[in-house]
């Protein structure tokens, strides 16, 4: 077991307080994932991704069909986040990383975070203490997958453009270059807000749900605006005549 841990640590660096690498909460999830990964090391990484989805889906189902407190439901989503970082650790150890696995992982991420948004929206509306109009919460839920669609679309076209043109290459991802520390900061603020929901007797649940939605909305809008701008900046003058089959 110790030998396995050493191997996992050598292949997977953990950064808790370095915003150049990842957010603090991402580091925490990866650390916990590293701790539990020896117990899942023989599983197919896609199965672990499916466990992440199942955990989030369980939280959504329990929220809708069972009389369970929100703090208990939130635990299912934290378990989902941990599984989300564990599948990659296991895949790298097994040397079975693939683009299919990356596709499945990203798809399940969007679904789980969408489930979380739905759970929190339902809680706010049931309590009747939502600060903003209902449209704001539904819009935040709607633009969540849209930001990933735009980001992935830009990434795909950037690679396509690089194959068609031998001139200066366009990077598929720029968010870290332009938003730098703002991206991990907003991730941390969202996850910190969710974390505080585990302590309803100490903190105002509705307040931190509102905080979560504010930063979720801002994160999505910034990503959408950034990549529309980058598309105009880097792709407008790149002709696709040589590679256009349509």
If phi > 0 it is left, if psi is from -120 to 50 it is alpha, else beta; for residue 180 that is: left
Residue 100: is its pLDDT beyond 80? yes
pLDDT score, position 128: 84
Torsional sign, CA 96, 101, 106, 112: negative
Instruction: Show the domains of the chain with their CATH numbers.
Output: 2-243 (1.20.120.1760)
Torsional sign, CA 135, 219, 83, 110: positive
For a pLDDT cut of 90, what percent of the chain falls above it? 47
pLDDT score, position 245: 55
Compute the CA torsion angle 25, 31, 32, 38 (nearest 10 deg): 150
pLDDT score, position 16: 61
Torsional sign, CA 139, 144, 146, 147: positive
- The whole-chain average pLDDT of the chain stands at 86
d(CA 239, CA 246) in angstroms, rounded, equals 14
For range 181-202, the mean pLDDT: 92
The CB density around residue 245, as the number of other CB atoms within 10 Å, is 4
Phi, psi of 231 (to 5 degrees): -60, -45
The CB density around residue 86, as the number of other CB atoms within 10 Å, is 27
């Amino acid at each position: 077991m110790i030998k396995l841990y050493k191997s996992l640590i050598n292949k997977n660096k953990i950064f808790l307080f370095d915003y150049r690498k990842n957010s603090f909460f991402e580091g925490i999830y990866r650390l916990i994932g590293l701790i539990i990964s020896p117990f899942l090391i023989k599983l197919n990484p896609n199965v672990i991704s499916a466990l992440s989805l199942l955990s989030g889906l369980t939280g959504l189902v329990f929220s809708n069909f069972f009389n369970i407190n929100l703090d208990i439901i939130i635990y299912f989503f934290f378990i989902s986040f941990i599984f989300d970082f564990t599948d990659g650790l296991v895949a790298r150890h097994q040397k079975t990383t693939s683009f299919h696995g990356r596709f499945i992982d990203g798809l399940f991420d969007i679904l789980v975070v969408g489930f979380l948004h739905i759970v929190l929206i339902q809680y706010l509306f049931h309590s009747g203490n939502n600060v903003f109009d209902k449209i704001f919460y539904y819009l935040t839920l709607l633009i969540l997958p849209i930001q990933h669609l735009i980001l992935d679309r830009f990434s795909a076209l950037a690679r396509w453009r690089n194959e068609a043109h031998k001139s200066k290459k366009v990077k598929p991802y720029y968010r870290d270059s332009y938003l730098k520390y703002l991206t991990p900061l907003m991730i941390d603020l969202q996850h910190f807000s969710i974390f505080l929901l585990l302590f309803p007797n100490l903190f105002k649940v509705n307040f931190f749900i509102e905080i979560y939605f504010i930063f979720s909305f801002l994160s999505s809008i910034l990503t959408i605006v950034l990549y529309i701008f980058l598309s105009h900046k880097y792709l407008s003058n790149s002709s696709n005549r040589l590679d256009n089959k349509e």
